[in-house]
Amino acid sequence: MLKYAILVFIGGGAGSVARFILGLKLNSIEQSIPYGTLLANVLGSLIIGLLFGFMDKSSYFNNSYYYLLAVGFCGGFTTFSSFAYEKMVLLRSGDFISFFTYMFVTLFLGLAAVSIGLYIAKTI
C-alpha cells in the first residue's frame, strides 16, 4: 500500500507540474476558452486510453504503472475542478457561446482521445 501511495505521489507531482507549465504557456486572460486546460484534459484522456489499452493487451503493465501513470500523473495533469471553474466564469460573464463550445469540445475530444488511445494501444 505504501509503495502505491508513493507512486501516486510521484506521478501526481509530475502531472501537476506539467499541467502548471501547460497552463502558463496556453491559458490567457484575454482568451474566452482556456486552451491549456482543454489540452491537458484531452492529452490526459489520450494517455489514459493508451495506458488501459496496453494494460489490457500486455502483462508487462502492472499495478505500479496504473498507480504511477493513471492515478498519479493523469490525476495531477487533468483537471476537472479548473474545467468546472472556468465554465462558471464563462457563464457569469454571459459568454454562453464560449461556455457551450468549451464544454462540448472538451467532452467530445476527451472521449475521442480515450478511444484513439485504446485503438492505438490495441493495434500496436
For 92-123, how does the pLDDT look when each residue is reduced to its tens digit (9 = 90+)? Answer: 999 999 999 999 999 999 999 999 999 999 99
Q: Tabulate helix, strand, coil % of the chain (nearest 5).
A: 85, 0, 15
Q: What is the pTM of this model?
A: 0.91
pLDDT confidence bin for 60, thresholds 50/70/90:
confident
For 19-49, how does the pLDDT look when each residue is reduced to its tens digit (9 = 90+)? Answer: 999 999 898 877 888 999 999 999 999 999 9
- Can you tell me the mean pLDDT for 62-82? 94
| 117 CB burial (10 A radius; 0-12, 13-18, 19+) | buried
Statement: residue 58 has pLDDT above 90: no
DSSP conformation class of 68: I
pLDDT at 31: 80
Q: Residues 6 or more apart from 40 whose CB is under 8 A from it? A: 18, 19, 22, 23, 77, 78, 79
pLDDT at 61: 82
pLDDT at 100: 96
pLDDT at 21: 94
- Can you tell me the mean pLDDT for 53-64? 88
Residue 101 cell numbers, joined: 463550445
For 6-18, how does the pLDDT look when each residue is reduced to its tens digit (9 = 90+)? Answer: 999 999 999 999 9
Statement: residue 4 has pLDDT above 80: yes
